Structure 1
């Protein structure tokens, strides 16, 4: 089986991690593939007299965590588990190189503390080599459309690809959202009597052209196009209230800065009422 069909979940014994496992197991059931549960075991500092005993206790606790997580998975789902000594961000980033999707919870314990609300989750989401889903909300596997944020540039292509694939697998529609900010020239135009609705129509045409190939490929997926002015995060959060999943792009990567995570992604990871998928664009160097 190719690694692109592996859905990897970081588990730590928290209820939030179990929600992530349930969401990921449903993803595997819908899309096929394999579910991989990963736990990062804390490394020991020098303790010559206790190291063997403490190490044994830590290892037993680690395997108890992954066994408890495995218990919430349908027996028909292909499953594997893995425990590795190391920092959670580093372990999960390394796992992402061999996964098609990496799934995290929102509030962790132990090895994955503060996932999705702190530096660990931001680091994992920013540096993962595959798309990352942060499972948010009280009912992660809820019905509703897939909402996708579309910037209107080539970086939107992989984001749209994931959004339509997810919607098709779920049998739901896509809500494609594009926002824009009036600039000085637009304000001058408005003062001259030119209606900004003309600019809305221009942006709407661009959005329709970007979405068109995916409409053709996924004819079974209903599509709603939304063009609005203002903050992308605000509009996406409003649309997320009735969504099953929100899909957004990162900021790509380049040789100077590495992977980047934009303000919209940050806002959704902290405040979205449903799971959030972050898809990075291909390397700008390429």
Structure 2
């Protein structure tokens, strides 16, 4: 069966942007596309309207990427639960940053945030249409299990786009007590060693993917700040759902949550068990 990208559709402008993004991604990667609209309740009189909205979205998707297989699915139930369930069999789940209609609660921090935190596979949140393509995929990487999953997804995205893969590994100087003796020497050691250790994390991915241009940076900064800054010249930012080391606070609601809120480009949140056998 063809792997499918699932898109949450509700007729809002961000959802339309999500459909366009997902259609282009499906076309690049040879995947099917399934458009899903979830209603908390389904008044019979509105069924035709919902179906028409789905078909209009399907037409936009086919126009965006000719030749892809597009299907539609009109469902009733709890929006978050339905979308999380849909993610279990999907290659990825794509949502608009905000929504209306059947996704009345789709403000980032409610539906999008809940789905990004609990979905089985990668969740891509699209802010709006991108006017400029940079040819660059950014990934936050610290060597943790979620970061590995994020890196695998980022590699696939960069390869399908023929784009540069830019690896960001942020680090921070620990806070020492002002009464600590000799801490200045320790700080100096950290400042010298941390960038070297961070740089080494990207090397296996560079050598393991000789067909890709892999660049990296090791800023002394908060991970969220570094990734949001990198997003200004990226087509996609990929983060793990949680992290270690440089991403010590990267539970959804801290680093991932901050990047979802503030990045200028689409953001993919990837969970450790997200990469399925194909």
TM range (shorter): 0.7 to 0.9
Out of 77, 80, 85, the position equivalent to 1:94 is 85
Instruction: Show the counterpart of 2:38.
Output: 40
Distance 1:88 1:264, change over 3 A: same
1:62 is paired with a residue whose SS is: helix
Aligned residue among 112, 130, 147 for 1:156:
147
1:277 Cα deviation from its structure 2 partner: 0.2
1:71 and 2:63 aligned: no
Note if 1:214 corresponds to 2:205: yes
How big is each residue's C-alpha offset from its partner over 1:153-183, in whole Å with a ceiling of 9 and x where there is no partner?
3332111111111111111111111112211
**Cα separation, 1, equivalents of 2:23 and 2:59:** 11
For structure 2, the 5+ residue unaligned runs are 244-250
Q: Are 1:58 and 2:46 counterparts?
A: yes
Q: Is residue 158–residue 279 contact of structure 1 (8 Å, CA) maintained in 2? A: yes
Q: Does 1:175 align with 2:166?
A: yes
1:226-251 Cα offsets, whole Å, 9 max, x none, are 11123111111111001000000112
User: Once the 2 structures are TM-superposed, how far is the Cα of residue 81 of structure 1 from its aligned partner?
Assistant: 0.6
Partner of 2:130: 139
**Which of 175, 181, 184 is matched with 1:192 structurally?**
184
Q: Deviations over 1:61-89 (max 9, x none)?
A: 21011011111112411111101111211
Residue in structure 1 matched with residue 24 of structure 2 by the alignment: 26
Runs of 5+ consecutive residues of structure 1 not aligned to the other structure: 45-53, 253-259
Question: Separation in 2 of the partners of 1:61 and 1:190?
Answer: 71
Q: 1:120 to 1:174 in 2, by over 3 A?
A: same
Give the structure 1 partner of residue 248 of structure 2: none
CA contact (8 A) 1:103 1:135 kept: yes
Aligned residues: 263
Which residue in the other structure is 1:257 paired with? none
Closer, same or farther: CA 150–70 of 1 in aligned 2, 3 Å: same
Aligned position for 2:217: 226
Please tell me the root mean square deviation across aligned C-alpha atoms, in Å: 2.4
Shift, 1:137, TM fit: 4.2
Shift of 1:32: 0.8
In structure 2, how many angstroms separate the alpha carbons of the residues matched to 1:201 and 1:171?
Answer: 34
State the 1:130 CA deviation.
0.5
Any conservation in 1 of the 2:19–2:61 contact (CA below 8 Å)?
yes
| Alignment equivalent of 1:127, drawn from 114, 118, 121 | 118
* Cα distance change, pair 186–27 in 1 and its aligned pair in 2 (3 A): farther
Instruction: Tell me the equivalent position of 2:247.
Output: none
Does the 8 A contact of 1:147 with 1:176 survive in 2? yes
Q: Following the alignment from structure 1 to structure 2, what is the Cα–Cα distance between the partners of residues 143 and 36?
A: 27
| Separation (CA, whole Å) in 1 of partners of 2:195 and 2:17 | 37
Q: Partners in 2 of 1:251 and 1:67 — Cα distance? A: 37
The change in CA–CA distance for 1:62 and 1:234 in structure 2 (over 3 A counts) is: same
Separation in 1 of the partners of 2:131 and 2:261? 15
